[in-house]
Amino acid sequence: MAPRIGVYVCHCGGNISEVVDIQKVMESLEGPVDVVQIKDHEHICSEVGQKLILNDIKENKLDRVVIAACSPQFQGITFMKTMEHAGLSPYVLEMANIREQCSWPHYDYPQEATKKAIDLTKMSLAKARLDIPLEKKVIPIGKRVLIIGGGIAGIQAALDLGDAGFQVYLVEKDPSIGGKMAQLSKTFPTEDCAACILSPKMADVPNNPNIKLMTSTEVKDISGYIGNYQVTVTRKALYVDPDKCTCCDKCVEACPVTVPNEYDEGLTTRKAIYLPSPIAVPHSYILDDKTCLGLFPLACSKCKEVCEPNAIDYDVYPTEEKFTVDTIIVATGFDIYDARQKRVYGLGKYENVFNALEMERMLAYAGEGKPLKDIGNRIAFIQCVGSRDEQVEHEYCSRVCCMYATKLACLLNRERPGKEIYIFYTDLRAYGKGFEEYYKRAQSEGIKYIRGRVAEILEDPKTKKLTLRAEDTLSRKIIESEFNTVVLSVGLIPNEGTRHVAGLLGLSRSQDGFLKEAHLKFRPVDTLIEGVFLAGTVQGPKDIPDSVAQAGAASSRAISLMNKGVYEAEPITAQIDESICIGCGMCADVCAYKAIEITVVDAHTGKKTAVVNEFLCKGCGTCAATCRSGAADVIGVSDHQISKMIEVM
Amino acid sequence: MDLQTKLRQEARKLLEEKLVDVVIGYEDEGAPLRTTPCFITDPQDVDRLVWNPFCDHNLARYLTARKDKAAVVAKGCDTRAIVVLINENQIERKNVNILGMPCGGIVDRKKIYNHLKNGDVREAVLKDKVITVKGLEFTADLMVDDFLADCCLSCRHRNPVLCDVQIGENLPPLDVKDEYKKIKQLEESTSEERWEYFRKTLSKCIRCYACREACPLCYCQQCFTDQNFPAWVGKTTDISDTIVFHIMRAFHTTGRCVDCGACERSCPNNVDIRMLTKKIAKDVKELFGDEAGLQLEEKAPLSFYNEDDPQDFIK
Amino acid sequence: MQEQPENWEPRIIAFLCSWCSYAGADLAGVSRRRYSPNVRIVKVPCSGRVNPFYIVKSLQQGCDGVLVSGCHPGECHYSNGNYYARRRFAILKRLLEYIGLEEGRVHFSWVSASEGDKFAKVVNEVTETVRKLGPATRLVKHSPVDGVVN
């Protein structure tokens, strides 16, 4: 059956009709049998105009509407609503943009503007003939959120969402939440004790009835889409029942195994059974089966023998758990750059070279009056180790190092007077609130800032003192000076967990390896995958306030999606003609949304074709233009439609 | 032992041990200067297999849409085509057993016909590197190397890039001075000259699609030329339609064409098809540094990008 | 350059990404920025949507010039469609010109939603380049195009 098309040409109160010859446009459209009516109107977007359309659709049984008026980006939504009121799909409406594209820019060429208006209207007509009455796809969406990563960003997001009444699954691979912030001594620029401000927040997590905390847990698999993400997690065996453990420490005394303590960056040791940190949440001992003398078969069992509450059970195994969530927040954090790769600085080789996180731990101990070692009086910081360095392929600035070095320097300086502390920097970046003031204060307290990259460090084999060589680029002098201790201000890098989660969810990464936001300015916590958000350093280096702010933003974005109860997906999506598709996979390769999978569709013949997940697809059409066989197309902007538009030319 | 004997031995072993269901190779049907693809399933038949400079088909063509396990005789270029087919999900690596043949080049018999002024060749005997051709009124001794296909003269992958068994030792690389000499010459001529050149060569095309059928990478179930909604390419012999067919067929080989020359050799009317495909291969290499069919699990250049790809052509 | 028939005006088709260049064209209109009226616009979701056939068919159809315009690198609404488009058109443009299509018939640009002026400038440049080349002849199909009758 031929379509019944109604065409409206709008005068736009003279905006169009003073340049474009409306009568001519209308005459040019006469002829084709499927053009049932051609009308003009002074203001088709007015209430009267819309009523006219409504009425015509009913009276003349129109099933397609072409409106030659302003830009669809201007009044498109208005007319789409009119279509809906009339009981038609809003996707059988086409607009010819004869105002922004004709009368306005070509006001001094009325004849040419009229010709162009005729062509554009004919093109819209050609497209309209092949329009399909599409409907928006509605998916119910619940109130369940998965948060991956229990650092400060993950904790903040979990608390925000939990407080707002959403069901939160907080998954953390380590035995305790807290992340990197839990290792810090104090925070810049206020010098609050990190553990003191963090631990109340950590404690709030298990106390929140809406948060299910899963530590020592890793995400194994995620499939599905917004409103229906199927999550599989692996929960490691803990061997210690946190409900029974009283933290009496007897097992630790009994354990014969001593290994480096991760929480202290290996500067101290722990046993194979241990408390992850003094502020650990959940506050429970765990048994590290990788360093234990042996569980299968049991080699020691001394800890179990001394455990009075009988909290230890060796006969437990990793388990898998599956659950469904509606949205996901990725907060997998960062790693510090492994400065051993910068061999000129001698980390791991020279006794008195440390990275900044090691210095954080040393200061934390010193603060408690239990210094780990004497670090001497002359201390140098080297900035931008693994940041802004093309040689190690980290061109970006890690944003926090200038300030944390300043903080560490101030703390060291104050800890015991008489120190001489130098910070060798590339550029000093004190951009945040209170940062510049903090930097000034550090200078007034005697910290010396030298602009220049350190070329190399040499260790005196006997005294273990370190000689630094650098050029002071301000005074143009070569500096060669001896120090007791050197601290490397290492940069932030994307971690393994992030790579893993990005792979599972199909999230794209920026050139620096951190996860890519949907839009750097306007959608900074969204990803291209609907219902997946980013929080904290997973998106790029940032300090604690920024991580917390972003976590809040991510939770509010998730809430605004979930609170509606339904998610409406645009019906303009890619479509694969399975009878033509040969399964070469190029469409899947170019899809930014991982919306296409190559699937065996006929088990008997083994025929593979591309299959589009219409909830993930955004209808960009890159797959269709990449497809050689013509199997991939976009419903609503089909190749056939565009070819008909070209034929008008 | 010569390569042909070795090849037969290997084929017999594969069939006898039931490691494969079929061996796809070349046989001599008696037509001079030619071989024919053959499909051997019985170990008794392996002596039908031949290996000589007339083995010009790209047998990768026969690997798609198979369910059995096949061994295939493959020259360097053929193995590159196989790599592309594996990367594009058309073959499973485990289902194909590649009998890799280091190849010194194959004969383009059209060159021989031209040399003989289209004298009717009734018989051809190959001995070492000399082909003795006989017609009704002539006999001539021709050197194989004087009649190699154009693609072989600029071949940089004479040895298999991927194989299960290699028959014979690697050949030394060919000293190729300028792989793209002809392309560059054409590029340097004027737009009018190029248009004239292509209009002339493509006007010989009768749209028989032999090129498409010979190409191992033209495996679409429905070619764009056969589509109706939309009909991107008219089915007429209007030169515009013919040129568009060739432009788009060539475009579809972007980063995939391995320059085996099968299309051009299959053409009954001597259309210079490789002048299009080779041009794209040159551009792909220049612009993106890619070369087709050298690595498994590699994305084709059009389904991949670098943020700093060249864009000086964009305003 | 060939002789141009009297009153001949170049006919140019433009495929514009709806998120950037199409909005840029709107902005040019809203700002009453004059530009040559020879261009007919087809709105596409992304420059990555533009199938090479669109360009080739337009040329066959007798368009004297073709313009494809999308978002600047790094600004694609769909993250990376323009990057794939860039590769595709790098090859296609070279190929078309190599077979003898005059340089200056097929154009590509990055125009953002805020670049109304740039849009006008690009259209003017394209029109002038095409005008100098004269009416398209090469690749134009003279027998009736299949299926053109509706």
d(C-alpha A564, C-alpha A542), whole Å: 31
Query: In chain B, which residues have their Cβ closer than 8 Å to the Cβ of C102?
Result: 191
Question: Is residue B177 domain-shared with residue B252, that is, in the same domain?
Answer: yes
Inter-chain touch B224–A598, beta carbons under 8 Å? no
Asked if residues A50 and A82 have their Cβ atoms less than 8 Å apart, the reply is yes
Question: Beta strand pairing status for A574-576 and A632-634?
Answer: antiparallel
Query: Which pLDDT tens digit goes with each residue over A125-160?
Result: 999 999 999 998 888 999 999 999 999 999 999 999
Mean of per-residue pLDDT scores for chain B: 94
Token pair for B101: 């043949």
A9, containing H or E segment: strand A5-10
For residue C82, give its domain range: 12-133
For residue A408, count CB atoms less than 10 angstroms from its CB and return exposed for 0-12, middle for 13-18, buried for 19 or more.
Answer: buried
Closest listed residue to residue A543, CA positions, set A366, A377, A397: A397
Q: What is the DSSP string of C68-110?
A: EEEPPTT--TTSSHHHHHHHHHHHHHHHHHHTTPPTTSEEEEE
Question: Is residue B84 domain-shared with residue B207, that is, in the same domain?
Answer: yes
| pLDDT recorded at residue A88 | 96
Query: In chain C, which residues have their Cβ closer than 8 Å to the Cβ of A108?
Result: 34
CA dihedral (B109, B115, B118, B122) positive or negative: negative
CA angle in degrees (0–180, nearest 5) for A621-A622-A624? 65
Query: In degrees rounded to 5, what are phi and psi of residue A238?
Result: -95, -30
Token pair for B186: 């054409």
Interface partners of B (3+ CB pairs, < 8 Å)? Answer: A, C
Q: What is the mean pLDDT of residues B291-300?
A: 93
CA angle in degrees (0–180, nearest 5) for A343-A345-A347? 80
Query: In chain B, which residues have their Cβ closer than 8 Å to the Cβ of A511?
Result: 307
Position B176 confidence tier, pLDDT thresholds 50, 70, 90: confident
β-pair partners for B92: none
Inter-chain touch A586–B300, beta carbons under 8 Å? yes
What is the share, in percent, of chain A residues with pLDDT greater than 70?
100
Does this model's pTM top 0.90? My answer is no
Rg of chain B over all Cα atoms, to the nearest angstrom:
20
Angstroms from C64 CA to nearest CA on chain B: 15
β-pair partners for C109: C69
Inter-chain touch B251–C52, beta carbons under 8 Å? yes
Q: What is the DSSP string of C105-144?
A: SEEEEE--TT-HHHHHHHHHHHHHHHHHH-S--TT---SP
Asked if residues B96 and B63 have their Cβ atoms less than 8 Å apart, the reply is yes
Mean of per-residue pLDDT scores for chain A: 94
Q: Which of B87, B117, B147 is the last residue of a domain?
A: B147
d(C-alpha B160, C-alpha B165), whole Å: 10
Query: In chain C, which residues have their Cβ closer than 8 Å to the Cβ of B284?
Result: 91
Domains of chain C: total: 1
Asked if residues C81 and C47 have their Cβ atoms less than 8 Å apart, the reply is yes
For residue A349, count CB atoms less than 10 angstroms from its CB and return exposed for 0-12, middle for 13-18, buried for 19 or more.
Answer: exposed
Q: What is the mean pLDDT of residues B212-225?
A: 94
Q: What is the mean pLDDT of residues C89-100?
A: 97
For A628, the closest chain B residue by CA position comes to B252
Q: Tell me: domain A574-648, CATH 3.30.360.10, correct?
A: no
pLDDT at C149 over 60: no
Beta strands in B128-261 (DSSP E): 130-135, 139-143, 165-166
B172 domain residue, yes or no: yes
pLDDT at C150 over 60: no
Question: Is residue B35 domain-shared with residue B99, that is, in the same domain?
Answer: yes
Question: Beta strand pairing status for B165-166 and B96-101?
Answer: parallel
Region A335-493: CATH code: 3.50.50.60
Is the CB of residue C102 less than 8 Å away from at least one CB of chain B?
A: yes
- Selection from A398-412, A605-619, B132-146 with the highest mean pLDDT: A398-412
Q: What is the mean pLDDT of residues B125-144?
A: 91
Q: Give the position of tokens 């051009």.
A: B264
Residue C4: other Cβ atoms inside 10 A: 14
Query: In degrees rounded to 5, what are phi and psi of residue A143?
Result: -125, 40
C110 domain residue, yes or no: yes
| pLDDT recorded at residue C2 | 52
C3 domain residue, yes or no: no
Beta strands in A191-285 (DSSP E): 192-193, 211-214, 217-225, 228-235, 258-260, 269-271, 273-274
Question: Is residue B190 domain-shared with residue B289, that is, in the same domain?
Answer: yes
**B&C contacts, CB < 8 Å:** 121
| pLDDT recorded at residue C148 | 43
Domains of chain B: total: 2
- Residue B125, SS3 per DSSP: strand
- Residue A123, SS3 per DSSP: helix
Mean of per-residue pLDDT scores for chain C: 91
A26, containing H or E segment: helix A22-29
B315 domain residue, yes or no: no
Look at A210-224, B16-30, B113-127, B252-266 and tell me which has the smallest mean pLDDT: B113-127
Give the list of residues 6+ apart from residue C61 with CB closer than 8 angstroms, or none: A646, A647, A649, C140, C141, C145
Q: What are the residue ranges spanned by the domains of chain A?
A: 5-129, 144-236+318-333+494-562, 250-306, 335-493, 574-648
C26 domain residue, yes or no: yes
For C95, the closest chain B residue by CA position comes to B280
| Fold match between domain A144-236+318-333+494-562 and domain A574-648 | no
C38 domain residue, yes or no: yes
B311 domain residue, yes or no: no
Angstroms from C25 CA to nearest CA on chain B: 15
Inter-chain touch A518–C79, beta carbons under 8 Å? yes
Inter-chain touch A579–B221, beta carbons under 8 Å? yes
d(C-alpha C125, C-alpha C112), whole Å: 17
Token pair for A372: 């780990």
Position C1 confidence tier, pLDDT thresholds 50, 70, 90: very low
For residue B123, give its domain range: 109-147
DSSP state of A563: T
For B90, the closest chain A residue by CA position comes to A584
Interface test with B, best of C42, C61, C87, C146 (most B CBs within 10 A): C87
d(C-alpha B151, C-alpha B260), whole Å: 7
Inter-chain touch C94–B279, beta carbons under 8 Å? yes
C87 domain residue, yes or no: yes
Position B177 confidence tier, pLDDT thresholds 50, 70, 90: confident
Question: Is residue B134 domain-shared with residue B233, that is, in the same domain?
Answer: no
Angstroms from B221 CA to nearest CA on chain A: 6
What is the share, in percent, of chain A residues with pLDDT greater than 90?
85
* Structure ipTM: 0.94
Question: Is residue B180 domain-shared with residue B69, that is, in the same domain?
Answer: yes
Position C144 confidence tier, pLDDT thresholds 50, 70, 90: low
Interface test with C, best of A521, A620, A647 (most C CBs within 10 A): A620
Which of A105, A593, A642 is the closest to C54 by Cβ? A642
Question: Beta strand pairing status for A334-336 and A492-494?
Answer: antiparallel
CA dihedral (A156, A161, A162, A164) positive or negative: positive
Report in angstroms the alpha-carbon separations of A643 from A273, A553, B117, C144: 70, 44, 47, 15
CA dihedral (A550, A554, A556, A560) positive or negative: positive
d(C-alpha C111, C-alpha A300), whole Å: 71
Q: Give the position of tokens 């958000």.
A: A533
Inter-chain touch A620–C81, beta carbons under 8 Å? yes
B132 domain residue, yes or no: yes
C149 domain residue, yes or no: no
B49, containing H or E segment: strand B49-50
Report the CATH number that the domain containing residue C48 is assigned in CATH: 3.40.50
For B315, the closest chain C residue by CA position comes to C109
Give the list of residues 6+ apart from residue A503 with CB closer than 8 angstroms, or none: none
| pLDDT recorded at residue A298 | 83
Angstroms from C30 CA to nearest CA on chain B: 23
Query: Which pLDDT tens digit goes with each residue over A368-402?
Result: 888 888 899 999 999 999 999 988 889 999 999 99
| pLDDT recorded at residue A591 | 94
Query: In chain A, which residues have their Cβ closer than 8 Å to the Cβ of C145?
Result: 647
Q: Which of B99, B120, B147 is the last residue of a domain?
A: B147
For A71, the closest chain C residue by CA position comes to C26
Under an 8 Å CB criterion, which residues of A touch B? 511, 579-586, 589-590, 598, 605-606, 608, 626, 628-630, 639-640, 642-644
Give the domain A5-129 fold: Rossmann fold (3.40.50)
Residues in chain C: 150
- Residue A404, SS3 per DSSP: helix
Region A144-236+318-333+494-562: CATH code: 3.50.50.60
Query: Which pLDDT tens digit goes with each residue over C30-73?
Result: 999 999 999 999 999 999 999 999 999 999 999 999 999 999 99
Position C4 confidence tier, pLDDT thresholds 50, 70, 90: low
| pLDDT recorded at residue C147 | 45
Angstroms from A104 CA to nearest CA on chain C: 5
Question: Beta strand pairing status for B139-143 and B70-75?
Answer: unpaired
Asked if residues A610 and A588 have their Cβ atoms less than 8 Å apart, the reply is yes
Token pair for A456: 């190399």
Q: What is the mean pLDDT of residues A71-94?
A: 94
Asked if residues C105 and C56 have their Cβ atoms less than 8 Å apart, the reply is no
Q: What is the DSSP string of B205-227?
A: -----HHHHH-TT---SS-GGG-
Rg of chain A over all Cα atoms, to the nearest angstrom:
32
Give the list of residues 6+ apart from residue C22 with CB closer than 8 angstroms, or none: A73, C16, C41, C43
Position A607 confidence tier, pLDDT thresholds 50, 70, 90: confident
B260 domain residue, yes or no: yes
Residue B185: other Cβ atoms inside 10 A: 10
